[in-house]
Amino acid sequence: MSFSRETKEELLLQSIEDDTTALAFLSGLFHSAGQISKTGSKICIKIVSDVESLFPYLQNLVKKFYGDEVKMEISESYNINKNTYYEISFDVEKFKTLLLDAGVLDFGDDGLSFRFEIDKNLLHEDENRRAFIKGVYIGSSTSSIKLSSDCAQSCGSGYHLEFVSQSHNFLVELSHILAEYSIIGKIFERKNSFVLYIKDATSIQDLLALMGANNAVMALSNEIVTRELRNKVNRQVNCINANINKTVEASLKQINAIKLIESTIGLESLPEDLQEVAVLRLANPEESLDELLKLSTIELTRSGLNHRFRKLIKIASNLEE
């Protein structure tokens, strides 16, 4: 199960006891996932979701505050990428009071119409704003976050969470609500829809905490720590490998210079301190400067040893010329 789906399932385990909070939640859900469907004279507001547990949650919620039951239809046309999508239908005539209370419908000259603007009267209280955001999250959020614990290999795909809507104004209003909690997102157009996205891991954590998805917050926190640790280890390994490569390259250059001197003028022609260093390197071709210092019979500093190797390389260079 994806991180996004698990978060939605966690949120749907939370009960709502207050009617105004329930309306704020339903308003967020209808605005983010609601679709108008008309068959003859019958008009329905449909919510399409791949979260099956949303239906019993809505059924209990609506029955608790309005005494009616919702009707769920499962259509084969909503089988996408092996995921089954569920239609939850609200007949406008039957649920007119609920839909009006949730700020989803408007009365106009042409009768009832879908209301895209958010009813601010539902969001006066902090608890109601959180419930609204929760409804929007369940209705329209997607995430590319993959947890390392669920992957056979590392999941360093970044942190990306987005809300998708056909209404640009709705996402602008939503972004203002999130900004009240210092959660900043950006909006862009994608084909025939609009997207409000958040890419900062801390902001995504804040959003999950705001909705009360504590398990998701912990899972994301662990993922952040895991990725930071993995990146730190990778940097250290890369640094070690770079140092090893540097040591090997320096050693090869020194050995080639010493062998050239040996094959032309002989090592015995060198001063004693250079002979010592040359023999030491030939006997220990893979050791670093620090290891050679430990093996040397004469007292040298690291810079002193390196200086002698540079002398040997210069002598070999002169011989080549």
- pLDDT tens string 86-121: 888 888 888 888 888 898 887 766 667 778 889 888
Number of domains in the chain: 2
Q: How many CB atoms lie within 10 A of CB 144?
A: 16
Q: Which of 170, 189, 212 is the C-terminal boundary of a domain?
A: 212
Q: How many residues belong to the chain? A: 321
Is 294 part of any domain?
Answer: yes
CATH code, domain carrying 205: 3.10.28.10
Same domain, 28 and 155: yes
Same domain, 147 and 289: no
Same domain, 20 and 96: yes
Host domain of residue 106: 3-212
Is 188 part of any domain?
Answer: yes
Is 124 part of any domain?
Answer: yes
For residue 7, what pLDDT is reported? Answer: 93
Q: Which residues contact 178 (CB under 8 A, 6 or more apart)?
A: 133, 184, 185, 207
For residue 81, what pLDDT is reported? Answer: 59
Same domain, 151 and 249: no
- Are 314 and 306 contacting, i.e. CB atoms less than 8 angstroms apart? no
Longest pairwise C-alpha distance within the chain = 108
Same domain, 177 and 278: no
Same domain, 190 and 118: yes
For residue 37, what pLDDT is reported? Answer: 79
Is 131 part of any domain?
Answer: yes
Per-residue pLDDT band at 84 (split at 50, 70, 90): confident
pLDDT of 156 strictly over 90:
no
Same domain, 101 and 151: yes
Residue 280 exposure: Cα atoms within 13 Å on the Cβ side: 24
Is 225 part of any domain?
Answer: no
Report the Cα 6 to chain-centroid distance in Å.
15
Q: Which of 212, 236, 264 is the C-terminal boundary of a domain?
A: 212
Is 224 part of any domain?
Answer: no
Q: Which of 212, 232, 252 is the C-terminal boundary of a domain?
A: 212
Same domain, 116 and 252: no
Phi then psi dihedrals of residue 208, to 5 deg: -65, -40
What share of residues in the chain are helix, strand, coil (percent, to 5)? Answer: 55, 20, 25
pLDDT of 19 strictly over 60:
yes
Is 238 part of any domain?
Answer: no
For residue 186, what pLDDT is reported? Answer: 94
Phi then psi dihedrals of residue 142, to 5 deg: -135, 160
Same domain, 266 and 191: no
Same domain, 56 and 164: yes
Is 184 part of any domain?
Answer: yes
Q: What confidence tens digit (pLDDT) does each residue in 181-231 have?
A: 999 999 999 888 899 999 988 999 999 999 999 999 999 988 888 888 888
Same domain, 90 and 155: yes
Q: Is the pTM of this model over 0.75?
A: no
Same domain, 260 and 153: no
| Distance, CA of 12 to CA of 3 (rounded, Å) | 14
